[in-house]
Amino acid sequence: MSQVFIVGGAGKIGRRLSQQLSRNGHQALALYRNPEQTEELKSLGAIPVQGSLLELDVDALAALMAGSDVVVFSAGAGGKGGPQMTNAIDGQGLELAVAAARKAAVARFLLVSAFPEASRGKQVSETFENYMAVKKRADVHLAESDLDWIILRPGTLLDTVGTGKVRAGLAIPYGEVSRDDVAATLLEIILRPNVSRVIIELTQGDTPIGESVQQLARS
């Protein structure tokens, strides 16, 4: 059984991942801010861990992570609060979580990032441009760390029911993907320690998720 600490545990991907981890006999610790979400997280099989990236320091977050086997960072401002909140959650929050994982000696770190072609060719706001820039800087920060990292870049996220089949690779055409399938992909990565230090792009596809992830494993 693995213990997985999910930063952004109350988010759409975090909730799905908690549920899938619980169903497969693993323990999910879900970091969340809003006390009203406690019971929902419990119902998904997660252990709710209340705390905010805006308030925790490295020592406090490391103490919450202690004993975990993996950290999954799926937190995001979601466009709320403008660039300042994006910088604080998606940027500085990621840096805080990386430092806390190192201090807590949790070597394996999975980051849910953004597909670089998102909204390419469309008229986008300055807020979105900032979001993409922050996401890239977060990727760089994690990739330059000494952690056993994996960066997952899903395409446009959908709330449709997952198919259990995806296209995953180092560089693939842009597309859409169900949040269910993103969570299932994270679970498969967690189960395969030989998938390591790689950036994975992800869309819907025709290959079973387990097979897709295994193809990216180191021999």
Percentage above 70 pLDDT, the chain: 95
End-to-end CA distance of the chain: 23
Active site residues: 131
Residue ranges per structural domain of the chain: 3-214
pLDDT at 56: 98
pLDDT range class, residue 118, cuts 50, 70, 90? low
**Per-residue pLDDT band at 204 (split at 50, 70, 90):** very high
Enumerate residues 6+ apart whose C-beta is below 8 A from 175.
155, 156, 167, 203, 204
The pLDDT assigned to 196 comes to: 97
Pick one of 3.40.50.720, 3.50.30.30, 3.40.50.11540, 4.10.520.10 as the CATH number of 3-214. 3.40.50.720
Q: Which residues pair with 151 in a beta bridge?
A: 111, 199
Instruction: Note the pLDDT of residue 124.
Output: 62
Q: What is the mean pLDDT of the chain?
A: 94
| pLDDT value at 75 more than 80 | yes
At a CB cut-off of 8 Å and minimum separation 6, what does 54 contact?
88, 89, 93
169: tokens are: 């690779």
Checking if the pLDDT of 171 tops 80, the result is yes
Q: Average of pLDDT values for 1-12?
A: 96
23-37, 95-109, 117-131: range with lowest mean pLDDT: 117-131
Least confident of 44-58, 125-139, 148-162, 179-193: 125-139
* 120 band by pLDDT with thresholds 50, 70 and 90: low
Its sign, for the CA torsion 102, 129, 116, 7, is positive
The tens digit of pLDDT for each residue in 39-50 reads: 999 999 999 999
- What is each CA distance from 123 to 119, 131, 145, 154, 159, in whole angstroms? 8, 14, 34, 21, 24
